[in-house]
Amino acid sequence: MKKLLKTLGFVAFLLTYSCHTKSDDPFSDIPDDFPILQKVLKNPDVYQVQILYTQIDRNESNQPSFQDYNFNLNDQVYFYPASTVKLPIAILALEWLNEQEIDGIHPESIMLSGAVRESQIPAEYDSTAANFYPSIAHYIKKILLVSDNDAYNRLYELLGQDYINRKLKEKGLLHTVINHRLSMPMSEEENRHFNPVTFINQMGDTLLQIPARHTESIYQNEDHPTVGKAFYSGGKLIESPMDFTFKNKYALTDLHGTLQRIIFPEKFTPDQRFKITETDKDFILKYMSMLPRESEYPNYDLPEYYDSYSKFFKFGTDEDSIPSNFRIFNKTGNAYGHLLDGSYFIDFETGIEFFVSAIIYTNQNETLNDDTYEYEEIAFPFFTELGEYLYQLELKRKKQRQADLSAFRIDYTGN
């Protein structure tokens, strides 16, 4: 029944909506088949929605060119980026590793995190890994497959704030501030302290030992943004907006730009690219697009980890399997009423490809930490409808050449 309704909706779309040209605004006239998308775009201030959509065309050599469209995009307007910040940290961990130039050290090398402060937690064991040890590679898998918070924290502690923020700025990602761990209640001071880390090989030999470090630099949002009108802290209701001065920032253009840098690095100048190997890039792309059920180590079981667990566009909270002709290379985020997704979307059957990144805020009572957000009623349906709307737009859009997407046909076995 669900598939029939989707088919009928698609037919209605084709009958009522003509193809956009490059001079058109794809968000100016949303058909009635997409009621939640329509509602959100008519109330951009209420939902603080931002959208960045990139159409892709290919030349005779299959090289891509981009045409951007946006709705309500504003890098100066703060929103909480939640887990989307994990994507650049995962990539930077591989860049950092390549810079070490130490024989025998690689992404699968055992990475042991120590603890020298009360707020810190050691990590010397990982039950989800094939060898029961943590590593950069395994942390990246967990980040990209199910957005694991501890995995992000370990890479944050390895790299430190100075390295992260400097590297992202060097690459032209200018509207980003990374200054804290996730799901760990720490002060801004404690978040400036980083655990000692030791890399060893399978024989137990030390490859690299990094002492505990801290930074004197203060990475903060200079405009002192606030969110909401009230929030809960320690079980008490605070009747004032929540201060996000010392929270992460990751503007939508930077999320979108990170996706484009890892998918099509040749579109950027060498200094704006991530300094990783082709093997590293293939590894990131594999786990960005892998579905939880396709992973053996770590293993994620149904029904909790269904295909669209972290694939919001088009598939939303649908627990049916995503058809095999689709692949979505993406990173999502979800916190404080914010829902985000940045994606490179592919349909191998039709040759469709496009980038889309979006943020929506659904918190009608303007109270944070009360677990009362309109995710199910508004946020997830918004991503489902936006993904479907753009997909249908792409089906109708005329292109001079069909894209050759064979480079993105990844072998998901042997992980």
pLDDT in tens, 294-325: 999 999 998 999 999 999 999 999 999 999 99
Between strands 230-233 and 367-368, the pairing is parallel
* Residue percentage of the chain with pLDDT more than 90: 93
Residue 233: DSSP 8-state: E
* Rounded Cα gap, residues 410 and 285, in angstroms: 9
pLDDT in tens, 335-344: 999 999 999 9
The whole-chain average pLDDT of the chain stands at 94
pLDDT in tens, 224-250: 999 999 999 999 999 999 999 999 999
pLDDT over 60 (residue 394)? yes
pLDDT at 78: 98
Q: Which fold has domain 2-408?
A: Beta-lactamase (3.40.710)
pLDDT at 24: 82
| Arithmetic mean of pLDDT, 160-180 | 98
Buried-state track 111-134, b at ≥16 Cβ within 10 A, e below 16: bbbbeeeeebbebeebebbeeebb
pLDDT at 374: 98
| Arithmetic mean of pLDDT, 367-383 | 97
pLDDT at 6: 45
pLDDT at 15: 36
Buried-state track 352-369, b at ≥16 Cβ within 10 A, e below 16: bbbbbbbbbbbbeeebbb
| Sequence ranges of the domains in the chain | 2-408
| Arithmetic mean of pLDDT, 118-126 | 96
* Rounded Cα gap, residues 411 and 415, in angstroms: 10
pLDDT over 50 (residue 204)? yes
pLDDT in tens, 2-52: 444 444 444 343 333 333 334 489 999 999 999 999 999 999 999 999 999
* Rounded Cα gap, residues 13 and 199, in angstroms: 55
